[in-house]
Amino acid sequence: MKNNVVNKLFYSIAVYASISMLYYFFTLYVYANEKDTNLNLVDSINEFFYISNLNGHHTNILKLTFSTLYYFFVNFTLASLLGVFIGTALGLNKYTGYISNYYINFFRVMPSIIYIVLFKYQFKFTDNYIYFVGVFASIWPIIINTKSGVEKVNLVQREAIKILNLPFKRRLLSFVLPEAFPNIWDGMKIGLGISFLITITCEYLYPDKLGMGAMLKNYEDNISPLVSMIIILWIGFMGIILNFIFELFETNLLWLRKQFSTYEGD
């Protein structure tokens, strides 16, 4: 299994590196005739690692990356916890499950980026705004998948568990959630992508905060194509790493299902 993981990481980085090369030459080609544009790669990399001007700050890439990742993790964790809780509650009862379908589908079909505009009138651009929009946009696939996972538990399994006379909490933890877990996981994977996208987009649109999205906006405005390119590739690299961490867990879904199951509670 270790070899598989290493191979996967190696191939991901190799593909990523080749795309980066193509992107680099593409940028050089597009901006070749632009005057007053710095196309020096070494200067751009230096600028990228030590940002000289972002909202009047001198800062470095790690600070900005951690800032974005912090927002992302809060968004994603809240969306996952709330989504699994709501999805399970809806899926356990066939009537609530049926009725909620219409509401969930309404929000689900909305392009998630709409929520950024939708809530900007309710909130000023604050941390709460990023959290609210991030959670609201990424929670729907988690709710839907959790609900369908809980609903799909078949009759024989339900009866087998009923006969065992398990208390509700144990039935939920030992059986329902682990059984629905592959579905929940798929929902979380979609939620992960949306949460990352929304965090970066929020920063990009309202660059008062420090973050990778804000940095991209800043260098785009200053017409620094190579630095912008490096930032985009860096954001892509973060995405690959997040996806890779998720896949690492995915290789041992049985272990994750067991964690639900053997959780004894308070």
Partner 1 sequence: MKNKTLHADQLCFKHHDKRSNLIWNNFKFSVSLGETVSIIGSSGIGKTTLLRVLSGLHKFESGNIYIDSSENTVTQPKSPIFIVFQDYNLTLLPWLTVKENIKLADFKSTVQNKITILETLEILFGNNANNTKILEMYPDQLSGGQKQRIQIARALFSNSDFIFFDEPDTGVDIKTKLSLRKTFIDLAKNQNKGIVLITHDLDNAYAISDKLYIIHESNQNSTNRIFNLVEVVKDNSMQFDNFRKMVIDYL
Residue ranges in contact with partner 1 by CB under 8 A: 154, 156-157, 159-160, 162-167, 170, 174-175, 178-179, 254, 257-258, 261-262
CB environment 140-174: b (16+ within 10 A), e (fewer):
bbbbbbbbbbbbebeeeeeeebeeeeeeeebbbbb
Nearer to partner 1, 167 or 265 (CB): 167
What is the nearest approach in angstroms of partner 1 to the Cβ of residue 172?
13
Q: How far is the CB of 247 from partner 1 (least distance, A)?
A: 19
> Cβ of residue 261: shortest distance to partner 1, in angstroms?
6
Q: Which is nearer to partner 1, 68 or 174 (CB)?
A: 174
Q: Which is nearer to partner 1, 159 or 221 (CB)?
A: 159
Comparing CB distances to partner 1, the nearer of 159 and 208 is 159
Q: Which own/partner contact pairs does 14-23 have at CB distance under 8 Å and 24+ positions apart?
A: 16/233, 16/236, 16/237, 16/240, 19/236, 20/233, 23/229, 23/232, 23/233
Q: How far is the CB of 177 from partner 1 (least distance, A)?
A: 10
